[in-house]
Structure 1
């Protein structure tokens, strides 16, 4: 499905609709096949031991898949997560942003399914993988 929102419009919509996460995420790239989004890691994202916490990795996947869906369907704030699964595979690097590569596996009229592979910036080995399903409200 073709893009109906570009990077700047998506970022502005996220900031406006979800001010509680304003400045936390940045879109690195967006095309018809993939969205790459970054969690700008700060001390508030860390758990004891200096690694990014699981809830923050989950948030990165959730926000990334949500934005990939909106990039294709437009401003639908009430598209909501209905199912989520995340596998934590290794400890993220300390002092590095987290990068999520997002692919939509299915974009239907009512449901969308996406996948996020999360990496520490500068490392090719994934630290987590998430799969999420979203419900798209009727128009």
Structure 2
């Protein structure tokens, strides 16, 4: 399925509809099969021990899959997460941004399912894996 929104329009949508996360996320690339999004890791994302917190990794997965769905269906602000599963695989590397590679597995009229792998920038092994389902409101 072709994308209805490009990276610039997705970032503008995120800034407009979710100003509370403004500047934390950046779309690195977007094509018909994958969206790559970066979490700009700052002090507020860290937990004791100098690693990125689980809630920050969850937020990256949630935002990434949400944006990948919107790329396909257009700017539907009320598409919401209905199910989420995150596996934290290893400790993210301190001082590095996180990169999520996102794919949509199913896109129906009412539900969409996506998955992502999250990496420390420059790292070869994923630090987390997430699978999420979103409810798409009727038009």
TM over 0.5: yes
Where in structure 2 are there 5+ consecutive unaligned residues?
A: none
Q: Does 1:18 align with 2:14?
A: no
Root-mean-square deviation (CA), in Å? 0.3
Give the TM-score normalised by the residue count of structure 2.
1.00
Q: 1:31 Cα deviation (Å)?
A: 0.1
Quick one: distance in 2 between partners of 1:124 and 1:27?
A: 19
Q: Which residue of 1 is the match for residue 126 of structure 2?
A: 126
Q: 1:99 Cα deviation (Å)?
A: 0.2
Partner-residue secondary structure (3-state), 2:90 = coil
Q: 1:95 Cα deviation (Å)?
A: 0.4
Partner-residue secondary structure (3-state), 1:11 = helix
Partner-residue secondary structure (3-state), 1:99 = strand
Quick one: distance in 1 between partners of 2:124 and 2:17?
A: 32
Partner-residue secondary structure (3-state), 1:5 = coil
Q: 1:134 Cα deviation (Å)?
A: 0.1
Q: Does 1:82 align with 2:82?
A: yes
Cα deviation 1:63-94 (Å, max 9, x = unaligned):
00000000000010000000000000000000
Quick one: distance in 2 between partners of 1:43 and 1:50?
A: 9
Q: Which residue of 2 is the match for residue 98 of structure 1?
A: 98
Q: 1:42 Cα deviation (Å)?
A: 0.6
Quick one: distance in 2 between partners of 1:81 and 1:53?
A: 20
Quick one: distance in 1 between partners of 2:44 and 2:85?
A: 24
Where in structure 1 are there 5+ consecutive unaligned residues?
A: none
Q: Which residue of 1 is the match for residue 107 of structure 2?
A: 107
How many positions carry a matched residue from both structures?
A: 139
Moved beyond 3 Å, runs of 4+: none
Q: 1:43 Cα deviation (Å)?
A: 0.9
Give the TM-score normalised by the residue count of structure 1.
1.00
